Amino acid sequence: MEVRLRDREATRERLLAAARALFAEHGYERVTVRMIAAAAEANIALVGRYFGSKAGLFGEVLAGEPTVRQVLEGDLEGLARRLGEYTAQRMRAEPDSPILRTLERSAGDPEIQALLSERLRTAVVNPLAARLEGDDAMARARMATAVFLGVGSVRRLLGPSDPTPEDVDRLTGLFEACLRGRE
Amino acid sequence: MEVRLRDREATRERLLAAARALFAEHGYERVTVRMIAAAAEANIALVGRYFGSKAGLFGEVLAGEPTVRQVLEGDLEGLARRLGEYTAQRMRAEPDSPILRTLERSAGDPEIQALLSERLRTAVVNPLAARLEGDDAMARARMATAVFLGVGSVRRLLGPSDPTPEDVDRLTGLFEACLRGRE
DNA sequence: GCGGCTAGTAAACGCACGTATACTTCACGG
DNA sequence: CCGTGAAGTATACGTGCGTTTACTAGCCGC
């Protein structure tokens, strides 16, 4: 593989990677383009050149994230428990996903909020609703998402707490109640 | 009652009221001291003079909010349903409480986050935990709080939705699952 | 080998913020 | 009626931000 010092694509990728890590670490507003450029060992002006703006770079970071969460795959019966276990981890530590981490540090800028909203919809809520049956599948998917996001909020605001087996059971029960259709 | 144009206490109160409304409307970061001063028809410098700083003013706004939520009062059996109904309202519209509105617009500044955290603890989580029994009362109160906050997050991010009677039932079920102790 | 496109750079622009300072104006007690 | 102290004002300070501009330097085809 050729090594080029002046490589537009490689520099662009470095900026993207640095932005991905920093946004996940601190959220949108508390990351400056100077921080990103420094982390990528690139010049500040290149952010504007390659991504148009800070918001454009953020949008590309979001777009680069994988859409389907592995939690949603697998059998439908175990879905509530997988969600319960996955969410229980959120009580202790930050999510791996940059989207979710950024979401938790939630941005006030309406443009950024719209980007996050669109992404949450296509990456979490819609895939989840697609796995459910009934005409209120979307409402139930939203409520399950609420539980999921809420646990993150509580950890962020009140501090982490190690989930007990009872917590996992309780969360699983919550998701079962959310996902269960009318019988 | 005497009418005084130069009334320190009245001006202070106007600033406080303006700040309360604006913080609830836009969150901490997106409100400037200039906005507050303009809304209160007071001079910018008075914010610093009377409250020390913007953060000091915010702290006083938080401190002025009522501590105990009426939802928590009343019989324990109906608590889950009252929480369910109260939370269902959050699917449609913003909370009345400035604390909760500010919480939803969540501030990144660590100092402000600490203020919000302390307030959420003393105004919501602790009173709720106090009403529960069992050694994991706090864990269950935190989970109920997570559901409550999560519904707000989802409304803010994905847009409001009118709660159906089924939503109320489902939320009530969620809170029952959270609040129920070991049997 | 050299000119021209282009990646990369340095520096500054313009703005908005929270805060601080020096000044002005008014109410009120003597 | 006047001086004094507090209430209120105008303005500027310093900082940090996202963005832009004018420039430099390197790669590549000819």
DSSP string, B29-83: TT--HHHHHHHTT--THHHHHHHSSHHHHHHHHHHTS-SS-GGGSS-STTHHHHH
pLDDT, averaged in runs of 10, over chain B (183 residues): 71 96 91 97 97 96 78 88 91 82 77 91 92 93 95 92 95 94 60
Strand C contact set, beta carbon < 7 A: A 6-8, 10-11, 42-46, 49; B 2, 4-6, 31-34, 44-45, 47-48, 53-55
For residue range A61-79, list pLDDT tens digits in order: 998 877 656 788 888 889 9
- Which residue among B105, B117, B182 sits closest to A108, beta carbon to beta carbon? B105
| Residue-level pLDDT at A137 | 95
Q: How far is the CA of B30 from the C1' of D12 (A)?
A: 23
Q: How far is Cα A96 from Cα A98, in angstroms, rounded to an integer? A: 6
Pairwise CA distance, residues A139 & B164, whole Å: 9
Q: Do B145 and A150 touch (CB under 8 A)?
A: yes
Query: Is residue A53 within 8 Å of residue A30, measured between CB atoms?
Result: no
- What's the Cα-to-Cα distance from A109 to each of A56, A63, B6, B32, rounded to whole Å? 13, 18, 38, 14
pLDDT in tens, A100-119: 887 777 677 889 989 999 99
pLDDT value of residue A98: 74
Q: What is the DSSP letter of A44?
A: T
What CATH architecture is A8-63? Answer: Orthogonal Bundle (1.10)
Q: Which nucleotide is nearest to A52 (CA to C1')?
A: D19
From the CA of B25 to the C1' of D22: give the distance in Å.
43
Contacts of B134 in chain A (CB under 8 A): none
pLDDT of residue A127: 92
Q: Which pLDDT score, from 0 to 100, does residue B106 have? A: 64
Q: Is the pLDDT assigned to residue A141 strictly greater than 60?
A: yes
pLDDT at B150: 95
DSSP state of A121: I
B145: buried, middle or exposed (CB in 10 Å: 19+, 13-18, 0-12)?
A: buried
Q: Measured between CA atoms, how close is A155 to chain B, in angstroms?
A: 9
CB pairs under 8 A between A and B: 121
Identify nearest nucleotide to residue A41 by CA to C1′ distance.
C8
Domain ranges in chain A with CATH number 1.10.10.60:
8-63
**What pLDDT band is residue A58 in, cutting at 50, 70 and 90?**
very high
| Helix intervals (H) in A93-125 | 98-104, 110-120
**Distance between CA atoms of B171 and B166, rounded to whole angstroms?**
9
Q: Which fold has domain A70-179?
A: Tetracycline Repressor; domain 2 (1.10.357)
With contact defined as beta carbons under 8 Å apart, do B140 and B64 qualify?
no
Q: Scanning the structure block, which residue is given the tokens 């102790």? A: B181
Give the Cα-Cα-Cα angle A28, A16, A45 (nearest 5 degrees).
85
CA of B121 to C1' of C14 (A): 42
Q: What are phi and psi of A73, to 5 degrees?
A: -75, 165
Q: How far apart are alpha carbons A101 and A54 in whole angstroms?
A: 18
pLDDT score of A39 more than 80: yes
Distance separating alpha carbons of residues A107 and A126, to the nearest angstrom: 22
User: Which structure tokens are listed for B152?
Assistant: 């707000």
User: In the block, which residue shows the tokens 């997988």?
Assistant: A82
Q: Tell which of B111, B128, B157, B169 to mutate to test the A interface (max A CBs under 10 Å).
A: B157
What's the confidence (pLDDT) of residue A19?
96
**Positions of chain C reached by protein Cβ under 7 A:** 6-12, 16-22, 26-28
Mean model confidence pLDDT for chain A:
89
* Neighboring chain B residues of A159 at a CB cutoff of 8 Å: 117
d(CA A41, CA A5): 12
Query: What's the Rg (C-alpha) of chain B?
Result: 19
Question: Looking at residue A96, what is its pLDDT?
Answer: 76
Choosing among B23, B100, B143, which should be mutated to test the A contact, i.e. which has the most A CBs within 10 A? B143
Positions in chain D where some atom is under 7 Å from a protein CB = 6-12, 16-22, 26-28
Minimum-distance CB partner of B158 among A121, A167, A170? A121
- Amino acid identity, position A136: D
Instruction: Report in angstroms the alpha-carbon separations of B77 from A132, B74, B95, B182.
Output: 31, 9, 24, 16
**Contact check, Cβ <8 Å, A139/B173:** no
Listed in order, the ranges of chain B carrying CATH 1.10.357.10 are 70-179
How far, in Å, CA of A126 to CA of B170, rounded? 20
Distance CA B108, CA A27 (A): 8
Q: Kindly give, in sequence order, each residue whose CB lies less than 8 Å from that of residue B73, ignoring residues fewer than 6 positions away.
A: none
DSSP A163: P
